[in-house]
Chain A
Amino acid sequence: MSKKPSVVTCWNVVEAVLSSTNRALLHGPPGTGKTFAACRLGLTGDQQKVFSITLTEETPAAELRGHYILKDGKYVWHDGAAIAAWRCGGRLIINEIQRGGPDVHSLLLNITDDLEIAEMDLPSGEKVKPQKGFMCVATMNGDPKELLDPALLDRFPVSIHIDKVHPEAINQLPNDVQQAAEKTALIEEEERRISVRAWYAFARLREKLMKSLDEEQAVDYAARAVFNSRASDALDALKIAKSEAG
């Protein structure tokens, strides 16, 4: 039995639960590592395939189910991400699940049904059922109770609120911006939030610019490029945070 962590975070729960459920919804602010977790954590083995799709209002249901394609002068059936995952017992990752249109929404109700009863008749005439090992991980920003249809929400009994940036995402950052990234990525007001990606971009740019410019200039240019009008506030906050409190 693994040792119980001293402070249980959402990521401890995600890691423990993801390999033991076939449907999970991860929701929370953007840039916290939800997609990363869905792709990497809790895979049942090295062989398990991962199929990923990011929904928009324009995404057709065919992207998930499949469609005919012209190949060597003939029309052949091509599985979409969901059916491909069904067939091989892989993992289907649906990013931004709340953004899907009505077509996608109807199909998702079918795809995320209980494994025992889920099945689908494809336009090719074939009947498919999910194979053992299939699981669906959906991610979204915002509150699912407000943004998701209750029927679809009911398909995800495991729904975890991500309120902390994934430690691995933070560890990729230089020490001086780690704490800032962790805190600003979770700011609720969208206009004030700075994502981990932005801090990562700043750190990378700073590092590259320092090869050709002096440190102060490199930091200033990188901050202006990434944070725009908030550059000076971000840099000043970093400088203040660096000194001992009290």
Chain B
Amino acid sequence: MNGSPAYPLPEVVDQSRRKRWLIEQSGNITPRAELSHGVLIVPLDASDQSRFMRDHELGHVHWSPKRPDQQALKNKLSPDVLAAVEDLRINTKLSESGVDTSAGGWSKPVCVALAKDVLRRKDARLLVLMAVAATGSGVMEATFSDVLKDDSIGASALEIARLARNAMWSIPVPKFKDTVRVSKWLQALLDTGMAPPPKLAGKSGAGDVGAGLASALKIAKEAGTSKRSVRRIPWGKLVFDRPPRSHRVAGYLGKRNRATDEGSYPRQLHRLLIDGKIFRNTRRGKGGSVLIDASGSMQLDNEAIQKILNAAPGCVVAVYSGNTHDGILRILAQDGRQVDKQYIGAPAGGANVVDGPALQWLSKQAKPRIWVSDGQVTGVNDRMSAINSLECVGITRRHQIAQEKDMSNAVKLLARMGRPRS
């Protein structure tokens, strides 16, 4: 046994017609395979970690497409999410092929230092991607697990990585299209988990990033990791129904605070040297928006919808439900006018189907925005998927939409919002 460099053999695993591969010692450069140029940058020493890295890059040569960045663009995926999930696939496929992956790419002290550094920065997204990319990498995975398990965000990251692995291996031989499928799921989960929680008067916020990630993880866990449940279901076509609003409604909803330089009790003394507007003037809100999910699972009767209409004077109120491939969103109240009683009720069938487009509509209406729904969202054919659920929660978080699962709670919330703070 001599100490000569341990060159990898990309030629053996390369399925393309490429004749020449250039092998470069990685040194300070991150090991990688430039598939479109036939360049493999890897460590060439005899250590077990270097062997793992060489095998990992060989795995990319054999299993990954030439231009993953183009695939990310085509599928509207963030490149780092796609790369992390592809790393998971490569690591686990290497292990499945009989390659020894127990050493991982870094030694234990390096893994500990890296994991602690990311934990210190509280970068939840990076933690999740790191946990996902390290899946199937022996010592790396075990060490990350040891360091992250005692932290709330770290534990969520580990759980997400576990679910990602299950989602990937929900079929016997995962291909790159499965990387795309799981990446879409992970991206939806991260987008939802990282979005700031809605802040509404009369409703407490959902907490910090850790809590957001945990709630997204809960949705993902409930939906499961089967191939079907982590595939995005297209939304149905949303049709708007605007019946005549023949009844006038008096009232208002919400309140708005404005800084002023006139008043009795100074409440914002910090503004004294800025603009002198140390007083606060509370005004009536011009109204908000309420979207009611009238699908079968909500078991709403017309009386309950009427209660909401009564509790939300001056608001835009709409109700929606769907059939197999489409759905109707009916506007019940707008600009201080309501529809006649005959229009109050589910506008279409008992399915959801159009939750996503309906929420998109709500996101463009006036604040405060309330979505009355049990959160059971479906796409066409009334099929459920984790991605669709996460997408809806993501919209609610990004556009400050408060979700109320229960009708009576929604009415109470509207009543609280309608009462100006004393």
If A184-B9, A244-B173 touch, does A229 touch B4 (CB 8 Å cutoff)? Answer: yes
B6 engages A239 (CB within 8 Å):
no
Which residue of B12, B23, B173 contacts A180 across the interface (Cβ within 8 Å)? B12
Asked if A245 is at the interface of the complex by the 8 Å CB criterion, the answer is yes
Asked if B46 is at the interface of the complex by the 8 Å CB criterion, the answer is yes
Main secondary structure of the interface of A (DSSP, over half): helix
Write out the residue numbers on chain B whose beta carbons fall within 8 Å of the beta carbon of A189.
Answer: 23
A224 engages B9 (CB within 8 Å):
no
Asked if A210 is at the interface of the complex by the 8 Å CB criterion, the answer is no
Asked if A72 is at the interface of the complex by the 8 Å CB criterion, the answer is no
Q: Shortest CB–CB separation between residue B25 and chain A, in angstroms?
A: 13
Write out the residue numbers on chain B whose beta carbons fall within 8 Å of the beta carbon of A229.
Answer: 1-6, 46
Scoring B residues 13 to 44 as 1 if CB is less than 8 Å from chain A, else 0, what string do you get?
11100011101000000000000000000000
A246 engages B3 (CB within 8 Å):
no
Closest to B8 in A: A233
A184 engages B4 (CB within 8 Å):
no
Interface size class of A (residues with CB under 8 A): 20 to 34
A188 engages B20 (CB within 8 Å):
yes
If A237-B58, A242-B97 touch, does A228 touch B9 (CB 8 Å cutoff)? Answer: no
Write out the residue numbers on chain B whose beta carbons fall within 8 Å of the beta carbon of A239.
Answer: 97-99
Q: Shortest CB–CB separation between residue B42 and chain A, in angstroms?
A: 10
**Alpha-carbon gap, A96 to B382, bound state (A):** 75
Asked if A18 is at the interface of the complex by the 8 Å CB criterion, the answer is no
**Alpha-carbon gap, A239 to B98, bound state (A):** 7
Write out the residue numbers on chain A whose beta carbons fall within 8 Å of the beta carbon of B54.
Answer: 233, 236
Asked if B404 is at the interface of the complex by the 8 Å CB criterion, the answer is no
B93 engages A243 (CB within 8 Å):
yes
B63 engages A233 (CB within 8 Å):
no
Which residue of B1, B5, B62, B98 contacts A191 across the interface (Cβ within 8 Å)? B5
**Alpha-carbon gap, A75 to B69, bound state (A):** 79
A194 engages B9 (CB within 8 Å):
yes
Which residue of A228, A230, A241, A246 contacts B13 across the interface (Cβ within 8 Å)? A241
Closest to A185 in B: B11
**Alpha-carbon gap, A228 to B1, bound state (A):** 5
Cβ < 8 Å to A, chain B residues 174-220: 175-176
**Alpha-carbon gap, A245 to B13, bound state (A):** 9
Asked if B51 is at the interface of the complex by the 8 Å CB criterion, the answer is yes
Asked if B343 is at the interface of the complex by the 8 Å CB criterion, the answer is no
Most buried by A among B3, B20, B97, B100: B97
Asked if A208 is at the interface of the complex by the 8 Å CB criterion, the answer is no
B23 engages A240 (CB within 8 Å):
no
Asked if A179 is at the interface of the complex by the 8 Å CB criterion, the answer is yes
Write out the residue numbers on chain A whose beta carbons fall within 8 Å of the beta carbon of B15.
Answer: 245
Asked if B391 is at the interface of the complex by the 8 Å CB criterion, the answer is no
Closest to B4 in A: A229
**Alpha-carbon gap, A246 to B61, bound state (A):** 9
Cβ < 8 Å to A, chain B residues 134-188: 173, 175-176
Asked if A234 is at the interface of the complex by the 8 Å CB criterion, the answer is yes
**Alpha-carbon gap, A242 to B9, bound state (A):** 14
Q: Shortest CB–CB separation between residue B217 and chain A, in angstroms?
A: 30
**Alpha-carbon gap, A238 to B173, bound state (A):** 18
B7 engages A237 (CB within 8 Å):
no
Asked if B379 is at the interface of the complex by the 8 Å CB criterion, the answer is no
B1 engages A224 (CB within 8 Å):
yes
A240 engages B6 (CB within 8 Å):
no
Q: Shortest CB–CB separation between residue B46 and chain A, in angstroms?
A: 6
Asked if A187 is at the interface of the complex by the 8 Å CB criterion, the answer is yes
B58 engages A240 (CB within 8 Å):
yes
Asked if B55 is at the interface of the complex by the 8 Å CB criterion, the answer is yes
Write out the residue numbers on chain A whose beta carbons fall within 8 Å of the beta carbon of B3.
Answer: 229
Write out the residue numbers on chain B whose beta carbons fall within 8 Å of the beta carbon of A228.
Answer: 1-2, 4
Q: Shortest CB–CB separation between residue B20 and chain A, in angstroms?
A: 7
Asked if B59 is at the interface of the complex by the 8 Å CB criterion, the answer is yes
**Alpha-carbon gap, A180 to B8, bound state (A):** 12
Asked if B94 is at the interface of the complex by the 8 Å CB criterion, the answer is yes
Q: Shortest CB–CB separation between residue B10 and chain A, in angstroms?
A: 8
**Alpha-carbon gap, A57 to B101, bound state (A):** 48
Asked if B261 is at the interface of the complex by the 8 Å CB criterion, the answer is no
Asked if A183 is at the interface of the complex by the 8 Å CB criterion, the answer is yes
Asked if A192 is at the interface of the complex by the 8 Å CB criterion, the answer is yes
Asked if A131 is at the interface of the complex by the 8 Å CB criterion, the answer is no
Closest to B58 in A: A240
If A224-B1, A246-B175 touch, does A192 touch B7 (CB 8 Å cutoff)? Answer: yes
A245 engages B55 (CB within 8 Å):
no
Which residue of A191, A233, A244, A246 contacts B9 across the interface (Cβ within 8 Å)? A233
Asked if B96 is at the interface of the complex by the 8 Å CB criterion, the answer is yes
**Alpha-carbon gap, A192 to B23, bound state (A):** 9
Asked if A232 is at the interface of the complex by the 8 Å CB criterion, the answer is yes
B58 engages A246 (CB within 8 Å):
no
**Alpha-carbon gap, A139 to B30, bound state (A):** 43
Q: Shortest CB–CB separation between residue B246 and chain A, in angstroms?
A: 62
Write out the residue numbers on chain B whose beta carbons fall within 8 Å of the beta carbon of A194.
Answer: 9
Closest to B98 in A: A239
**Alpha-carbon gap, A184 to B14, bound state (A):** 11
A240 engages B4 (CB within 8 Å):
no
**Alpha-carbon gap, A246 to B65, bound state (A):** 7
Q: 6 A-B pairs, CB-CB below 8 angstroms?
A: A184-B11, A191-B4, A192-B9, A224-B1, A230-B4, A241-B62
Known: A237-B58, A243-B93. 7 other contacts (CB 8 A): A184-B12, A191-B4, A228-B1, A236-B99, A237-B8, A242-B97, A244-B173
* A residues apposed to B, CB below 8 Å: 179-180, 183-184, 186-189, 191-192, 194, 224, 228-230, 232-234, 236-246
Q: Which 8 A-B pairs rank lowest in CB-CB distance, beginning with the nearest?
A: A237-B12, A183-B11, A237-B9, A180-B12, A245-B15, A192-B7, A241-B13, A239-B98
